[in-house]
Amino acid sequence: MTRETGSAQTSRATRLASLANETFDVLVLGGGIGAACAAWDASLRGLKVALVERLDFGAGTSAHSFKVLHGGIRYLQHLDLPRLRESCHERGSFLRIAPHLMQQLPVAVPTFGYGIQSRWVLASAFAVLELLTFDRNRGLSDRARTIPAPYLLSRSELLQRFPGLPREGLTGAGVFYDGQIRNPPRAVLAIVQAAMDAGAVAANYCEADRLIVRNGAVCGAEVRDVLGNERFAVRAAVTVNAAGPYALDFLRRSEQSVRANVPFSRDMAIVIPRQLDPELAVAVQTRYADPDAVLSRGNRHLFMAPWRNRYTLIGVNSRVYTGSPYELKVTEPEVAEFVAEINEAYPGLQLKLEDVAAVNAGLLPFGENAQGAKDLSFGKRSVVIDHAQSDGLQGLVTGMSIRWTMGRLLGRHVTDLAEGKVRGGVSASRTDRTPVRGGDIVSLAAVEKDLRAAAPQLSTTQVSRIASNYGADWNAVVGPQQSERQVIVGSDYLISELQHAVHHEYAATLTDVVLRRLDLGSGERPSEATLAACADLVASELGWSATRRASELQRVRASYPFAGPESQYPVSVADP
């Protein structure tokens, strides 16, 4: 079932013409989780919405997170109960609206001795958590997506699963559940597509160059089509600047003096090609304290989570960042320092710098920290600014999401403000109960069953991946004549998945295809044979020259090991 017909270029041309010729209620800048949710929320409320993203949908910070849907347990230590409840609600919302793209993630927290880190203290914390999150599974019909109660694990059970953990004083572990985002860029795409289904006009590779301001009011933005190098104005009653960590830079570029000054942290998570446990994540203590913890059970934790059946994600390492968001880089010494921190926390891993297959990094709104502080205070709330209130500038709202998990709520808040300005009143948000594109399913197991019946020749891994990536829309990539031989060299990805990405999912570069639509490379760099096969296929689908094919390949290779936001990309990706 494909909704957009005709070639990608034609549909893009139509969308760009709409952006240039129509007048919108709301123009959303950015295509990360915050922007996608804002555009979707506003469209569902019947507002006429445009969205422009300078790179690919979800290519910014949102693609590079640690992939955890936070359920709020961390905020128990801070005694921040509203934040705990909020986080729990947001985890539930994503499990409900995007059930194919989210799953449970059990996390083991080791216990020690008889004091604050003991089993009984953790068991008591779990009992409080149970009470505070009693309604966490409301509206979740797929039992596999519900969040079970936390439980305790014995010392021997824990060591069987993680034999390398430090053993001194170890008494076992408590296991609580978060959610895991199985494919963050596809999740963002599914929300953008849901917004488009609800009437929004969205385009990737369209950069907002500057705001258009008349008589103290923002009435849209000047936009550049990065693929075609055309410039045009997008007119809107309200502009929602949801460009994440780039948002304030963009305002400065528009020569708007705004009061807000948001400090940023550079967060990093690495991927190693080793599996510690197939299902269970583990938390290990670092040497750094959490200055905001009211009930501290020791130092801050590092988390190690299973990824794609073969890898482990390890995060998060943070440091104060004061440079330009467009110049973010992670250096080898920074990764080496993080590897040393990991080895100190989990000596059994004996990790080496060469083991690091990929580095995910991005910028986040931060807490207030003195220069050089080691025990860092993290940001606590998303940033929402109504510039009419703060700067006397009408028609402009800025939003930056503190967590991927909080992106939907941020979208709701900025839409409330935008709708208030357009209509003078606020209607109810429906994004916590409306399925995203592909999310209208009874259960993932039911989708897998249908897929197996339609294409019995597909392997279990192919079935599970296709069900998860496309949900209800699986038949967009698997036809009745599907052959197991129609795969991309060196992988089990179907050629039809790549063709669908290019013609119906707005993939315009090889990086879009390899890193985001097919997720061939979120664990490590795909083999040269696979990359070359993908490049040949995309080149033939989009009519690329040999020079363009070579430069696209080079861009994918350059993403490793640092797979951070592609902010350093040359501004144009057009065929030379």
Ligand X SMILES: Cc1cc2nc3c(=O)[nH]c(=O)nc-3n(C[C@H](O)[C@H](O)[C@H](O)COP(=O)(O)OP(=O)(O)OC[C@H]3O[C@@H](n4cnc5c(N)ncnc54)[C@H](O)[C@@H]3O)c2cc1C
- By CB under 6 A, name the binding residues for ligand X: 29-35, 52-55, 59-62, 64-68, 70, 207-208, 242-246, 250, 267-269, 315-316, 360-362, 364, 400-405, 407
Which C-beta is closer to ligand X: that of 269 or that of 376? 269
What is the nearest approach in angstroms of ligand X to the Cβ of residue 293? 19
What is the nearest approach in angstroms of ligand X to the Cβ of residue 330? 10
Q: Is 361 helix (H, G, I), strand (E, B) or coil?
A: strand
Rg of the chain (C-alpha set) = 23
What is the nearest approach in angstroms of ligand X to the Cβ of residue 299? 19
Which C-beta is closer to ligand X: that of 207 or that of 497? 207
**Looking up tokens 């998570």, which residue turns up?**
269
**Looking up tokens 């123009």, which residue turns up?**
27
Which C-beta is closer to ligand X: that of 34 or that of 150? 34
The whole-angstrom separation of Cα 166 and Cα 426 is: 53
Which residue blocks in 271-354 are alpha helix, DSSP H? 332-345
Which C-beta is closer to ligand X: that of 26 or that of 35? 35
The whole-angstrom separation of Cα 42 and Cα 49 is: 7
The whole-angstrom separation of Cα 339 and Cα 316 is: 11
Residue 250: alpha-carbon gap to chain centroid: 21
CA-nearest of 408, 404, 410, 409 to 383 is 410
User: Which 8-state DSSP code applies to residue 14?
Assistant: H
What tokens does 176 get? 């609580």
Residue 4: alpha-carbon gap to chain centroid: 24
CA-nearest of 468, 426, 381 to 187 is 468
Residue 32: alpha-carbon gap to chain centroid: 7
What is the nearest approach in angstroms of ligand X to the Cβ of residue 410? 7
What is the nearest approach in angstroms of ligand X to the Cβ of residue 210? 9
The whole-angstrom separation of Cα 284 and Cα 286 is: 7
What is the nearest approach in angstroms of ligand X to the Cβ of residue 400? 5
Question: Distance of CA 289 to CAs 73, 108, 293, 478, Å?
Answer: 17, 20, 9, 50
What is the nearest approach in angstroms of ligand X to the Cβ of residue 449? 31
Contact in structure between 103 and 148 (CB atoms under 8 Å): no
What is the nearest approach in angstroms of ligand X to the Cβ of residue 40? 13
CA-nearest of 308, 306, 288 to 296 is 288
What is the nearest approach in angstroms of ligand X to the Cβ of residue 31? 5
Which C-beta is closer to ligand X: that of 174 or that of 184? 184
Which C-beta is closer to ligand X: that of 404 or that of 493? 404
Which bin fits 113, alpha (ψ -120 to 50), beta or left (φ > 0)?
A: left
What is the nearest approach in angstroms of ligand X to the Cβ of residue 373? 19
Which C-beta is closer to ligand X: that of 401 or that of 462? 401
CA-nearest of 365, 275, 264, 266 to 314 is 275
| Phi, psi dihedral angles at 341 (to 5 degrees) | -60, -40
- 239 DSSP β-pair partners: 27, 396
Which C-beta is closer to ligand X: that of 30 or that of 172? 30
- 14 DSSP β-pair partners: none
What is the nearest approach in angstroms of ligand X to the Cβ of residue 496? 27
Which C-beta is closer to ligand X: that of 379 or that of 526? 379
What is the nearest approach in angstroms of ligand X to the Cβ of residue 443? 24
What residue type is 329 in one-letter code?
Answer: K
Which bin fits 358, alpha (ψ -120 to 50), beta or left (φ > 0)?
A: beta
What tokens does 381 get? 């709330």
Peptide bond preceding 561: is omega within 30 degrees of 0, i.e. cis? Answer: yes
What tokens does 266 get? 């550079």
The whole-angstrom separation of Cα 396 and Cα 394 is: 6
Contact in structure between 275 and 164 (CB atoms under 8 Å): no
CA-nearest of 471, 422, 80 to 238 is 422
What is the nearest approach in angstroms of ligand X to the Cβ of residue 66? 3
What is the nearest approach in angstroms of ligand X to the Cβ of residue 463? 27
Which C-beta is closer to ligand X: that of 96 or that of 549? 96
Which C-beta is closer to ligand X: that of 360 or that of 429? 360
The whole-angstrom separation of Cα 62 and Cα 92 is: 19
Cα-based angle 106, 111, 114 (whole degrees, multiple of 5): 150
Which C-beta is closer to ligand X: that of 31 or that of 395? 31
Which C-beta is closer to ligand X: that of 247 or that of 451? 247
The whole-angstrom separation of Cα 545 and Cα 522 is: 27
